[in-house]
Structure 1
Amino acid sequence: MASSNNVIGMMDSAYFVGRNELLSWINASLQLNLSRIEEVASGAVQCQMMDMTYPGAVPMHKVNFDARTEYDMIQNYKVLQDVFTKLKIDKHIEVNRLVKGRPLDNLEFLQWLKRYCESVNGGIMNENYNPLERRGKVCKERHFKASQKSSKSLQTYNSQNPGSGDKSGVPKMTGNKQKSRAVVVESDSSDEIQALSNEITELKVSVDLLEKERDYYFGKLRDIEILCQAPDLEHIPMVAAVKKVLYAADEGSALAEAQEILSANQ
């Protein structure tokens, strides 16, 4: 479990560690090649640092090392916050600032993280930890799933368009018959391309609408999260119950645990 060194004051020597030293620490520990502090904004690096410090405590299969959007980055920080909660680490994560990639905010968080990890392992790197293997396994699983989706899409297309497969066994045609056949094929292809083009346009419209809807509800959740983080509200039972639902890794038990919190304070 976490040590008692959770609270690190702003005047602690940890906050005087420079950017180059932090990047060297990360690159050496996780075998990366980062050159800017902003590159850790996705939260994946922080998750793996905790995975190295507490082997097995981080569900690495939930960490997205390819996160590019704020939504995907926030999912990484939810994993990290859940780990903090499990290890009883009293550290608030300023997610809304970190995902913006602001150098100072990410620098301060890394300074704290370095100080904390070293307080646990005494500054000694875990020689039995293979960062490439741990990271590579997650990336391979994601790429494998993506390949499966592509393969299924290709199989579906081929089943719907059998003419796109093997042409062996088709009798050859010459002269006017061949020209006539070419005109028919060209006409069919043109119609098919137009139909696919229309379908793509419709899908793009649907995706745009879904993204707007997602952003709308995500914005509502962020507003609720910010309200729950207010110092004068965070100790209220209802706020604690809401945060339990927001940060729960296991969606099935989150509601039941939140209800228990409310029942215990009635």
Structure 2
Amino acid sequence: MTMNASRTDLLAWLNELLQISYTKVEQCGSGGAYCQVLDSIYGDLPMARVKMNAKHEYEFIANYKVMQNVFKAKKIDKPIPVEKLVKCKMQDNLEFLQWIKRFWDANYGGQGYDAVARRKGVPTDPPATVAPLTTARSGSASNLGVSGGRAGGRTPVTGHRAGSAQPNEAVQQLQGQIKELSTHLEGLEKERDFYFEKLRDIEILVQAQMEALEAESKDDVTLREIQKILYSTEEGFEVPEGGAPVDEEETF
């Protein structure tokens, strides 16, 4: 399979190899499938650390950390564009999946691979990718069009009974979008809290070390630079009332 392989062919290969049911290349952005393709080659990835049904970006990043460790251990000279891949954009993941397929073709020994056994039966629900709201809106617009319609033209456009089902369908689509966006927002909030806790731990550690040095009349330029970064704000940023810069400023 060449670099010009279609998305359909790539997904068919991936689903067969890993015994999963991905329907879009974008779902590879979670990183789980990429990790298991490498496991099919080497057979020694820590699959217990790979979350195949990851739903949130911080979980995606954890999968890519596993992958980066493998690349380093196996001396694979290929940059992993993590920041792009985790956004679950089709083009970025298509290009990387094409590279993964080429790498697999060149390195897989044909030894057979039991994907389900390697992940110990862990669920592999396809990762969700948030669809643009315009998709639902355009779909709703077509459902609400005045031409044709489900009644086959037997009821006038002004008839309420025939048209009532169409707005209900549009509402259901929008409700589905809202639910998916709410789940995505929850993930972003968890990701924010995840990184905030790390920054908070660093802040406490640096502060304690600075106080210890000051007690001994010493200084550490590196620690001061770290503090400077922790407490810096972007131009135009205003700290909300009652909040400290590090507590309230988001980092993404």
- TM value normalised by structure 1: 0.47
Structure exhibiting the larger radius of gyration computed from Cα positions: 1
Q: TM-score, normalised by structure 2?
A: 0.49
More helix per residue: 1 or 2?
A: 1
